[in-house]
């Protein structure tokens, strides 16, 4: 993957073709930076990029705030099987006992409101067995909560993708539940599978969409895309901090995997090693001691230790890190990051003013030439920031 991964210690670029990919690594190891570089790389290869940003952050802006956002696209789930997965994920428990009642409520229902009304009728019915009422009451609680959430945010009735561009659906830091995020992911992937080709869909926090051990509303369509999407060049890039809560069938079927550091315990590091197809003498200690931005890039034929270049770092500096000439967290390297972030904020302010006022009030008439000069001087540091 030219310009993204650099082998350690040679510094040579490592190339792979766009395909389904799984990316793992603990927070602050560089996983999000890998995703951003991959997004821009596949865009430059002619793919449409769709990012479903579901990762809530306690501090700062969402991870993909600097990229163009499109409206939330959603279709309600009214079929019993995907709805069961959705409610199980929300409840964090299996609902097999309640499933027969859910099937009855879904019959002749086209919306969640109609399903809710049928369940309400069961709960309030005078001659209905108490056991059946108990089942309906559990389902009613979960569905009511979901309906309230859906109704509080405006959504679009169509997926408003800009082809050949990076598109972000922002679900982060808005108080959305896992169930709500699943409905959006399910609707989006269903629409992509039906109507688009040459598209790569990214989402982090994969355990929300494809949890291990129980269903979800989005899992079925994600599995279909993993199995059948390659013929239409419909690819998925899924990410999570660890593998323990992610559906193992999906992880196994991703032919390209990017394994980052796991310092939370030996068990997770050992689990990570087991998912590397060609691992040689790789040990848990190797996973636990990975440096910032260093990953094991794995295909079905080989595994290589690489440094993943962030969008704000030049290829030359990335090669220096891969060769061990400079540390990835050194003050020298962090200056590049600070400079790029400063430029990104400055540019975002100008773009905001143009969108609101039709002109940039802050920077005067030489805006265009001034920014062209800045872009020229910063070179690779602004990849993905301009054009926005």
pLDDT of residue 370: 44
Domain positions in the chain: 18-74+155-308, 80-148, 331-382
pLDDT of residue 338: 76
Q: H/E/C letters for each residue in 6-56? A: EECCCCCEECCCCCCEEEECCCCCCHHHHHHHHHHHHHHCCCEEEEEECCC
pLDDT in tens, 86-105: 788 777 788 889 999 999 99
pLDDT of residue 379: 35
With CA atoms as reference, report the closest residue to 180 among 206, 228, 143, 207.
143
pTM: 0.80
pLDDT of residue 35: 93
pLDDT of residue 388: 36
| Residues shown for the chain | 388
pLDDT of residue 349: 62
Helix (H) or strand (E) holding 145: helix 130-151
pLDDT of residue 242: 85
Q: Write the CA distances from 157 to 6, 65, 189, 210, 269, integer angstroms.
A: 42, 23, 14, 25, 43
pLDDT in tens, 8-51: 999 999 988 889 999 998 877 888 999 999 999 999 999 999 99
Asked if 349 and 362 touch (Cβ cutoff 8 Å), the reply is yes
pLDDT of residue 72: 92
C-alpha 143/C-alpha 84 separation (Å) is 11
pLDDT of residue 306: 96
pLDDT of residue 233: 93
Superfamily of domain 18-74+155-308: P-loop containing nucleotide triphosphate hydrolases (3.40.50.300)
The predicted model gives 366-384 an average pLDDT of 40
C-alpha 171/C-alpha 153 separation (Å) is 11
CB atoms within 10 A of CB 155: 14
Is it the case that residue 297 has pLDDT exceeding 80?
A: yes
How would you label 100-137 residue by residue, b for 16+ Cβ within 10 Å and e otherwise? ebbebbbeebeebeebbebbbebeeeeeeeeebbebbe
User: 380 falls in which pLDDT band (50, 70, 90)?
Assistant: very low
Mean pLDDT of the chain: 83
User: 371 falls in which pLDDT band (50, 70, 90)?
Assistant: very low
Is it the case that residue 248 has pLDDT exceeding 70?
A: yes
The predicted model gives 241-246 an average pLDDT of 85
pLDDT of residue 387: 39
Residue keyed to tokens 């590397």: 276
pLDDT of residue 294: 95
The predicted model gives 217-235 an average pLDDT of 88
């Amino acid at each position: 993957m030219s310009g993204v991964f650099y082998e350690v210690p040679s510094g040579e670029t490592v190339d792979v073709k766009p395909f389904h990919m799984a990316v793992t690594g603990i927070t602050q190891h560089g996983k999000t930076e890998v995703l951003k570089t991959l997004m821009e790389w596949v865009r430059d290869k002619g793919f449409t990029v769709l990012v479903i940003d579901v990762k809530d952050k306690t501090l700062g802006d969402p991870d993909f705030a600097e990229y163009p956002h499109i409206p939330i696209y959603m279709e309600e789930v009214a079929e019993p099987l995907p709805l069961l997965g959705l409610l199980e994920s929300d409840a964090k428990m299996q609902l097999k006992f309640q499933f027969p009642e859910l099937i009855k409520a879904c019959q002749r229902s086209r919306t969640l409101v109609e399903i809710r009304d049928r369940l309400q009728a069961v709960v309030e019915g005078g001659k209905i067995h108490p056991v059946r009422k108990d089942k309906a009451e559990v389902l009613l609680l979960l569905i009511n909560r979901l309906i309230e959430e859906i109704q509080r945010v405006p959504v679009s009735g169509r997926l408003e993708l800009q082809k050949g561009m990076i598109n972000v659906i922002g679900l982060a830091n808005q108080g959305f539940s896992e169930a709500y995020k699943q409905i959006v992911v399910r609707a989006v992937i269903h629409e992509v599978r039906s109507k688009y080709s040459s598209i790569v869909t990214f989402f982090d926090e994969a355990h929300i969409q494809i949890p291990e051990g129980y269903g979800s509303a989005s899992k079925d369509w994600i599995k279909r895309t993993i199995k059948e999407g390659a013929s239409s060049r419909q690819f998925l890039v899924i990410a999570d901090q660890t593998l323990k809560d992610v559906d193992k069938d999906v992880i196994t079927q991703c032919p390209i995997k990017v394994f980052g550091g796991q310092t939370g315990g030996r068990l997770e590091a050992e689990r990570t090693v087991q998912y590397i197809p060609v691992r040689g003498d790789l040990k848990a200690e190797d996973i636990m001691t990975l440096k910032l931005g260093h990953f094991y890039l794995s295909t079905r034929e080989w595994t290589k230790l690489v440094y993943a270049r962030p969008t704000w770092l030049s290829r030359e500096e990335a090669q220096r890190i891969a060769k061990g000439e400079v540390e990835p967290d050194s003050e020298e390297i962090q200056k590049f990051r600070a400079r790029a972030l400063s430029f990104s904020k400055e540019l975002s302010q100008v773009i905001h003013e143009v969108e609101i006022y039709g002109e940039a009030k802050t920077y005067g008439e030489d805006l265009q030439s001034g920014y062209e000069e800045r872009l020229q001087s910063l070179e690779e540091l602004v990849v993905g920031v301009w054009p926005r």
